[in-house]
């Protein structure tokens, strides 16, 4: 029976990593995989994480199983940062559970939505490829609309049209901040328009907050999620600590549920626990415990936030340098200056992307998505010049 399974295509991004690693050129640039890098090209372990792990090593006295809900101290410690310090439970209507990374949180959120009766999800495209894969694997219909205009701004007309076409009981997937892959985020004013429309249409929002703190700041990046939650009776929120704590391989995430009331909240979470038990049984403990220890300690929290500020500042400096370059060939870099987070998409053809790789040692996804953190002040001028070289208009 197993031999009847069809061959699946290799993951293009993983293949890109191998091609880059095998390239002997010393001036090659890796803009593919979505991890933060310093100006020296490293992906460091946060000092706050190192300190928390040391503390965990010294104080942890058991490796017994967690329940399917995971480390609830971790789940609760995050809530003031996500939902605000004044009332992070929204009057007892929000509770959560740990998940293996943001991917696990999205998967569980979508599974809960389906179990509740959702059959169709609306999503702006392009989006993180795993979103569509999860919807398809769970058998949900996916309806798409354009997320951005060619000028590199949010396509609000397309979004409003899509939401007006949606039917009560549909779900809508929205990126909380630092949109992957475009870097094009909704402004507070646009969130103010989106939130009441989602409520008016009686849609279930699935809010993916995977990069909080990497855009404008921890508070600023939470605006959209909080704004939607003020309008709607219920919502699902997927959260990742993989990027803003640098815990990529430890898979640290959480899913939060906002229900109409406390009684409904308990029923929803009981379904979440059952789905988690059948999928991964219990989430991994180490990363969540390290994050919890940071957020329970004022000094470690301050250290973490300072490290996060350093990351955000560096990426904003890269964006500012790109924007200052203006137009290079046929690519207008100015738009990247008002985008946020790790990613942006360059309007390059497949042939141009291949030429950048073969002739200049620049590796990026076939979609034109680049990891901003792969650029440094030492290689950015080369990158701009190489993009200009491959995209320069050909005289007739």
Give one DSSP letter per residue of 108-155, joined into a string: HHHHHHHHTT--EEEEEES--HHHHHHHHHTT-EEEEEE-B-TTSSB-
Q: Are 390 and 352 in contact (CB under 8 A)?
A: yes
224 and 86 within one domain:
yes
User: Rounded to a whole number, what is the distance in angstroms from the first to the last CA of the chain?
Assistant: 57
Q: Give domain status of residue 366, yes or no.
A: yes
Residue 396: predicted pLDDT:
42
370 and 280 within one domain:
no
- pLDDT per residue of the chain (396 residues) written in tens, 0 to 9: 999 999 988 777 778 888 888 999 999 999 998 899 998 888 999 999 999 999 999 999 999 898 999 999 999 999 999 999 999 998 899 999 999 999 999 999 999 999 999 999 999 999 999 999 999 999 999 999 999 998 889 999 999 999 999 999 999 999 999 999 999 999 999 999 999 999 999 999 999 999 999 999 999 999 999 999 999 999 999 999 999 999 999 999 999 999 999 889 999 999 999 999 999 999 999 999 999 999 999 999 999 999 999 999 999 999 999 999 999 899 999 999 999 999 999 999 999 999 999 999 999 999 999 999 999 999 999 999 999 999 987 654
213 and 326 within one domain:
no
List 30, 155, 185, 208, catalytic entry: 208
Determine the distance from the C-alpha atom of residue 196 to the mean position of all C-alpha atoms in its chain, rounded to a whole number: 24
Give one DSSP letter per residue of 377-394, joined into a string: TTTHHHHHHHHHHHHPPP
List 30, 71, 122, 128, catalytic entry: 128
For 218, how many CA atoms within 13 A lie in the half-sphere containing its CB?
Answer: 19
240 and 372 within one domain:
no
125 and 102 within one domain:
yes
| The last residue of a domain, from among 296, 319, 343 | 296
CATH number at residue 233: 3.40.640.10
257 and 162 within one domain:
yes
Q: Which tokens sit at 165?
A: 């076409």
List 71, 122, 185, 243, catalytic entry: 243
331 and 220 within one domain:
no
Count of structural domains within the chain: 2
Q: Please say if 208 is a catalytic residue.
A: yes
224 and 372 within one domain:
no
Q: Which tokens sit at 147?
A: 């997320």
315 and 290 within one domain:
no
Q: Give domain status of residue 55, yes or no.
A: no
Structural domain range at position 74: 65-296
Helices (H) and strands (E) in the chain, counts: 14, 13
Please state, in angstroms and rounded to a whole number, the distance separating the CA atoms of residues 164 and 46.
Answer: 44
| The last residue of a domain, from among 296, 320, 342 | 296
The sign of the torsion formed by the CA atoms of 173, 179, 182, 186 equals positive
Q: Give domain status of residue 70, yes or no.
A: yes
pTM of the model: 0.95
CATH number at residue 348: 3.90.1150.10
Q: Give domain status of residue 57, yes or no.
A: no
Q: Give domain status of residue 257, yes or no.
A: yes
Please state, in angstroms and rounded to a whole number, the distance separating the CA atoms of residues 384 and 351.
Answer: 17
Neighbouring residues of 280: CB distance < 8 A, sequence distance ≥ 6: 100, 104
Residue 395: predicted pLDDT:
56
Neighbouring residues of 375: CB distance < 8 A, sequence distance ≥ 6: 29, 31, 318, 322, 383
Give one DSSP letter per residue of 220-259, joined into a string: HHTHHHHHHHTT-S-EEEEEE-TTTS--GGG-EEEEEEE-
Q: Give domain status of residue 3, yes or no.
A: no
Residue 394: predicted pLDDT:
64
Please state, in angstroms and rounded to a whole number, the distance separating the CA atoms of residues 116 and 266.
Answer: 14
Q: Give domain status of residue 75, yes or no.
A: yes
Q: Please say if 128 is a catalytic residue.
A: yes
Q: Give domain status of residue 315, yes or no.
A: yes
80 and 34 within one domain:
no
Q: Please say if 243 is a catalytic residue.
A: yes
Q: Is 31 exposed, middle or buried (0-12, 13-18, 19+ CB in 10 A)?
A: buried
Q: Which residue has the tokens 């220890």?
A: 293
371 and 253 within one domain:
no
| The last residue of a domain, from among 230, 262, 296 | 296
Residue 45: predicted pLDDT:
94
Q: Are 367 and 126 in contact (CB under 8 A)?
A: yes
287 and 322 within one domain:
no
Choose among 35, 103, 36, 98: nearest CA to 67: 98
């Amino acid at each position: 029976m197993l031999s009847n399974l069809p061959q699946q295509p290799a993951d293009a991004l993983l293949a890109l990593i191998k091609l880059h690693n095998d390239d002997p050129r010393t001036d090659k640039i890796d803009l593919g995989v979505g991890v933060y890098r310093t100006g020296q090209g490293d992906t460091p372990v946060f000092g706050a994480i190192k300190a928390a792990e040391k503390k965990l090593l010294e104080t942890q006295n058991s490796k017994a199983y967690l329940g399917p809900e995971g480390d609830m101290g971790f789940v609760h410690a995050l809530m003031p940062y996500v939902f605000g310090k004044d009332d992070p439970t929204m009057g007892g209507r929000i509770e959560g559970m740990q998940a293996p990374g943001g991917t696990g949180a999205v998967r569980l959120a979508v599974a809960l939505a389906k179990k509740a009766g959702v059959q169709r999800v609306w999503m702006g495209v392009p989006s993180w490829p795993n979103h569509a894969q999860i919807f398809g694997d769970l058998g949900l219909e996916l309806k798409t609309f354009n997320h951005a205009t060619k000028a590199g701004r949010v396509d609000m007309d397309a979004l409003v049209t899509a939401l007006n076409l949606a039917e009560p009981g549909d779900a809508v997937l929205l990126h909380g901040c630092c949109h992957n892959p475009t870097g094009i985020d909704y402004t507070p004013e646009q969130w103010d328009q989106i939130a009441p429309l989602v409520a008016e249409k009686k849609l279930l929002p699935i809010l993916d907050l995977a990069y909080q703190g990497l855009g404008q700041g921890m508070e600023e990046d939470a605006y959209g999620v909080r704004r939607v939650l003020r309008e709607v009776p219920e919502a699902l929120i997927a959260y990742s600590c993989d990027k803003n704590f640098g815990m990529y391989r430890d898979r640290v995430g959480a899913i939060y549920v906002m229900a109409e009331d406390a009684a409904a909240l308990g029923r929803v979470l009981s379904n979440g626990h059952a789905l988690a038990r059948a999928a991964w049984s219990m989430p991994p403990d180490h990363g969540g415990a390290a994050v919890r220890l940071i957020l329970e300690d004022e000094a470690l929290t301050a250290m973490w936030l300072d490290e996060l500020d350093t990351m955000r500042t560096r990426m904003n400096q890269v964006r500012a340098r790109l924007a200052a370059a203006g137009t290079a060939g046929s690519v207008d870099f100015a738009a990247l200056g008002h985008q946020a987070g790790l990613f942006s998409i360059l309007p390059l053809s497949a042939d141009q992307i291949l030429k950048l790789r073969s002739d200049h040692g620049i590796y990026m996804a076939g979609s034109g998505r680049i990891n901003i953190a792969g650029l440094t002040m030492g290689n950015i001028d080369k990158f701009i010049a190489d993009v200009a070289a491959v995209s320069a208009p050909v005289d007739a």
